[in-house]
Structure 1
Amino acid sequence: MDVSILIVNYNTQRLTLDCLQSVFASRTQYRFEVIVIDNHSVDGSIEAIREQYPQVTVIANRENTGFAKANNQGIEAAQGRYILLLNSDTLVQPDTLETMIGLMDRRPELGAAGCKVILPDGSLDKACKRGFPTPSASFYYAFGFSKRFPHDPKYNQYQLGHLDPDDEYPVDVLVGAFMLVRREAIDQVGGLDEIFFMYGEDIDWCYRIKEAGWGIYYYPRTYIVHVKGGSARRRPLKIIYEFHRAMWVFHRKHYFKKYSMITNTAVYLGITLKFLMALVQNKLTPPSRPDGRSEESRTEVKA
């Protein structure tokens, strides 16, 4: 088996089915298997996947285990020499698997690679090529310096906005929505760290892979579409909490001992302030209607 494609599903039946359709429309010489790990969905996802794609291996959890743990379950069951983390809300192109596996076969020094990721409106999903969130990189990003000086590498250490998204080059971090990882690299560094529930695990994995001496590469010779959420809507408190907790965990795990107490304190205060601001902003966001569209966006559509 060349590649094992892991898709974590949590109440995203329609998106997951669309994702599977794009995967099985791939034109490739490589053999692949698809493993869907369902985190206790209640929207009929498991039944629909098994009916429409009986060739897919489905792991049905009895609780929402989170993104990292679910993918680790998939890795344990996988037979491929490569592991592909693929979000349920993505659409691969017919040449994506062929192009990316071919790259990894030609470049044995690479531990992981990612392709270009675009949003439905055609813009770049900037998370697909990133630097590590060091204190300085996070500061310049959080306080808007990267937007103010888009061509200056000093202020674009995190999202690498100064680099052409149509060029290929080594990076620090890929996005968990599409990350092709070599089996040997996983055997060396281990799977995703399950202390991360649904954010930060991709950054942490890339950090450990790179520390082990493997290369990480951005390769925009093919792309996927990342559907993501549509209109702005109020998010559950747990989502906001986990997003900011991941920042705290990553810094504590990898940077705490490398920086002074003053820097560490500033980082934690910054994360706390950002968390509080996110809570306020979320509170002011119109709640979602049953169809998932916010009242604000509903008004815009009517207008």
Structure 2
Amino acid sequence: MCKITATIVLYKNRTYELLETIDSFLKTEMDVRLYLVDNSPTDDLKSIFYDSRVEYIFMHSNNGFGAGHNVILRNPEKMGKYHLVLNPDISFKEGTLERLYDYMESNSDIGNVMPRIVYPNGELQYLCKLLPTPMDWIGRMFIPFSSIKEKINDSFEMRFADYDKEMNVPYLSGCFMFLRKSVIEEVGVFDEGIFMYGEDTDLNRRIYQKYRTMYYPKVTITHAFEKGSHKSLRLFWIHVKAAVYYLNKWGWFFDKERREINKKTKLNYSNL
């Protein structure tokens, strides 16, 4: 069994960016395997990269981000001891996988770990979040006042916390999820009722119920990160539908677990 496997779900990606992500993952002496799951309408990306450690899977249709990753997550025999859900716009230095592997090996109660994530210019991305309320996810999309949006973001994105310290976070971004295989076998895979946006929230919440889901700032990666839903009406409505699905599943205004988890998280990590 490989020590680390990874999936990248593709959809008409920029070649130069994708190649950088692939190269970042493969630049290691560890036993790794990478699955490229292509949701694109054509298989033009099939020949983008050749390496015996890479397997290309053309889906012939686009069933969503979570469904693409589930092609591997539903098959434990294809997964390594740890499995990385990896966005196609991520890059990192050699040694990153080794450090995350060692961290997980030393902490058997962790189900998911996310490193410190920065923009290409080095600016921090606030990707540690509380469990979302209707206002966090839907309300702020329609609020025209930037000052109110910023106030919501300050709380939701845990800007009250010290991002230089490790934290057990209920919602870690799905752009880089370093998962323990045995935990996925226990709690399940991405909920395919969510096409895109929010499937990471749901999965991390289920893991958090039984294990620690850690932000680990001693390792840093770079995320190009474009907020597609802010630029495309189609993606905007996909985002809204995902939020509605998630809130229907977990609770809109009456979610006792969310209230307790968020309260505890603020208490533990408030940097005020």
TM-score bracket, shorter-length normalisation: 0.7 to 0.9
Q: Percent identity?
A: 25
- What's the secondary structure of 1:47's corresponding residue? coil
Aligned-pair RMSD on alpha carbons? 2.7
Question: Does the CA contact (< 8 Å) of 2:24 and 2:93 recur in 1?
Answer: yes
Residue number in structure 2 paired with 1:246: 242
Unaligned runs of 5+ in 2: 257-272
Question: Does the CA contact (< 8 Å) of 2:112 and 2:180 recur in 1?
Answer: yes
Question: Does the CA contact (< 8 Å) of 2:229 and 2:236 recur in 1?
Answer: no
Q: In the aligned structure 2, how far is the partner of 1:117 from the partner of 1:14?
A: 20
Residue number in structure 1 paired with 2:21: 19
Residue number in structure 2 paired with 1:113: 113
Residue number in structure 1 paired with 2:173: 175
Residue number in structure 2 paired with 1:158: 156
2:116 aligned with 1:100: no
- What's the secondary structure of 2:156's corresponding residue? coil
Q: Residue 9 of structure 1 aligns to which amino acid in structure 2?
A: L
Residue number in structure 1 paired with 2:91: 91
Higher helix share: 1
Q: In the aligned structure 1, how far is the partner of 2:108 from the partner of 2:171?
A: 18
Residue number in structure 2 paired with 1:228: 225
2:254 aligned with 1:258: yes
Q: Residue 40 and residue 233 in structure 1: after superposition, are their counterparts in 2 closer, same or farther (change >3 A)?
A: closer
Q: Residue 126 and residue 41 in structure 1: after superposition, are their counterparts in 2 closer, same or farther (change >3 A)?
A: farther
Residue number in structure 2 paired with 1:219: 216
Q: In the aligned structure 2, how far is the partner of 1:17 from the partner of 1:249?
A: 34
Q: In the aligned structure 2, how far is the partner of 1:220 from the partner of 1:184?
A: 24
Q: Residue 233 and residue 67 in structure 1: after superposition, are their counterparts in 2 closer, same or farther (change >3 A)?
A: closer
Residue number in structure 1 paired with 2:123: 123
Unaligned runs of 5+ in 1: 150-154, 261-303
So what's the TM-score if we normalise by structure 2?
0.82
Pairs aligned (count): 248
* Deviation per residue, 1:99-130 (Å, 9 max, x gap): 11111111101111100111112112212x11
So what's the TM-score if we normalise by structure 1?
0.74
Q: In the aligned structure 1, how far is the partner of 2:211 from the partner of 2:54?
A: 31
Question: Does the CA contact (< 8 Å) of 1:113 and 1:181 recur in 2?
Answer: yes
- The structure showing larger relative contact order (alpha-carbon pairs under 8 Å, at least 6 residues apart) is 2
* Deviation per residue, 1:23-82 (Å, 9 max, x gap): 1223x5x42111110113537211223xx3343011111011210000000223423011
Deviation at 1:87, TM superposition (A): 0.3
Larger Rg: 1
